[in-house]
């Protein structure tokens, strides 16, 4: 489906006001980085080529002679089985945005702005760029042995109630616990979780502003019934943001609270 003028206007408005980078950088990233893997509000979350980020991160983990070790040397993975791991996992961000209303609010804004098909999809990709940039940042991309990484994912799912506890060996479970307890991992992921909550609120605020600008640009909403429809759409957009903001202010449920559940679960693991 071809973009409407309003959809194009909306995408450009979001890029200008939502991302903490220049429009030129936004365009470059949008064309350079594709995402695959876990979906976040219908948008693919993992940046293609994430391995390049792990190459730059001066922290990696490996197993040598049966011992789980770490190195502060950036570059190629020491452990041949290592995978480029999101320390704070995509599944946590996806679950948080879905369960606590951010995805619902974003979809409501898209709907009220009159975006459908590719228009809505591209809008969400653009407005979510700051979130995707943050969770795919080099500081959250670490080489981790495959045996540890796969069990880590299962442990996170278990902590969030998405599956049973893994039947991995005690040694591998101990390695996962060591990984999470490493202050370099713990400190960065806790800070990132809080940052993602802040970015979620900023995303919805920016999306609402851009949605309203798109409504202003729609000449069919100028007067009469059109003006009434425009007012209704604006009210829907405002309500979507307010509903999420009120719930977050009241309960502080989000990425940070979900990540703390994971941390507590791992700490309590035998």
* Span of 9-23, 57-71, 159-173, 224-238 with lowest mean pLDDT: 9-23
Instruction: Read off the pLDDT of each residue in 28-50 and give the average, rounded to a whole number.
Output: 69
Q: Is the pLDDT of residue 80 over 60?
A: yes
Report which secondary-structure segment, H or E, holds 93.
Answer: helix 90-99
Q: How many domains does the chain have?
A: 1
The answer to whether residue 63 sits within a structural domain is: no
Backbone torsion region of residue 101, taken as left when φ is above 0, otherwise alpha when ψ lies between -120 and 50, otherwise beta? left
Number of residues assigned to the chain: 270
Contacts 24+ apart (CB under 8 A), 261-266: 261/159, 261/160, 262/92, 262/155, 262/156, 262/159, 262/160, 262/180, 263/180, 263/186, 263/190, 264/159, 265/155, 265/158, 265/159, 266/155, 266/159, 266/176, 266/177, 266/180, 266/181
* Domain-located, residue 70: no
CA–CA gap between residue 155 and residue 122 (Å, rounded): 33
Classify residue 122: in a domain, yes or no.
Answer: yes
**Position 66 in a domain:** no
Domain, as residue range, for 159: 5-48+84-268
Predicted confidence (pLDDT) at residue 240 exceeds the cutoff of 90? yes
Query: Exposed, middle or buried by CB within 10 Å (0-12, 13-18, 19+), for 12?
Result: middle
Written in H, E and C, the secondary structure of 13-79 is HHHHHHCCCCHHHHHHHHHHCCEEEEEECCEEEEECCCHHHHHHCCCEEEEECCEEEEECCCCCCCC
Percent of the chain with pLDDT over 90: 70
Q: Are 44 and 34 in contact (CB under 8 A)?
A: yes
CA 157 to chain centre: 16
Summarize pLDDT for 132-154 with one digit per residue, the tens.
999 999 999 999 999 999 999 99
**pTM for the complete prediction?**
0.85
Q: Looking at the predicted structure, is the pLDDT value of residue 166 above 70?
A: no
In a domain, 53, yes or no: no
Q: Which residue has the higher pLDDT, 219 or 119?
A: 119
User: CA geometry: angle at 161 spanning 155 and 167, to 5°?
Assistant: 40
């Amino acid at each position: 489906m071809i973009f409407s003028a309003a959809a194009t206007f909306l995408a450009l408005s979001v890029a200008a006001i939502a991302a903490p980078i220049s429009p030129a950088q936004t365009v470059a990233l949008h064309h350079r980085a594709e995402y695959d893997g876990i979906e976040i509000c219908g948008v693919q979350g993992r940046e293609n080529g994430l391995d390049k980020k792990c190459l730059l991160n001066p922290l990696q983990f490996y197993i040598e002679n049966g011992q789980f070790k770490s190195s502060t040397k950036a570059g190629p993975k020491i452990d041949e089985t290592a995978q480029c791991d999101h320390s704070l996992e995509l599944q946590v961000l996806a679950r948080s945005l879905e369960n606590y209303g951010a995805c619902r609010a974003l979809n409501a804004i898209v709907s009220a702005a009159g975006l459908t098909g590719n228009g809505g999809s591209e809008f969400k990709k653009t407005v979510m760029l700051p979130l995707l940039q943050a969770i795919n940042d080099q500081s959250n991309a670490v080489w981790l042995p495959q045996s540890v990484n796969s069990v880590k994912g299962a442990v996170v799912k278990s902590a969030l109630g998405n599956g049973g506890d893994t039947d991995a060996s005690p040694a591998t479970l101990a390695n996962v616990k060591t990984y999470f307890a490493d202050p370099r991992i713990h400190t960065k992921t806790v800070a990132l979780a809080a940052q993602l909550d802040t970015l979620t609120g900023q995303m919805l605020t920016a999306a609402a502003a851009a949605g309203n600008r798109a409504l202003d640009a729609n000449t069919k909403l100028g007067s009469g019934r059109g003006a009434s429809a425009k007012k209704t759409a604006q009210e829907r957009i405002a309500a979507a943001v307010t509903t999420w903001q009120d719930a977050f202010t009241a309960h502080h449920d989000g990425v940070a609270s979900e990540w703390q559940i994971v941390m507590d679960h791992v700490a309590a693991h035998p």
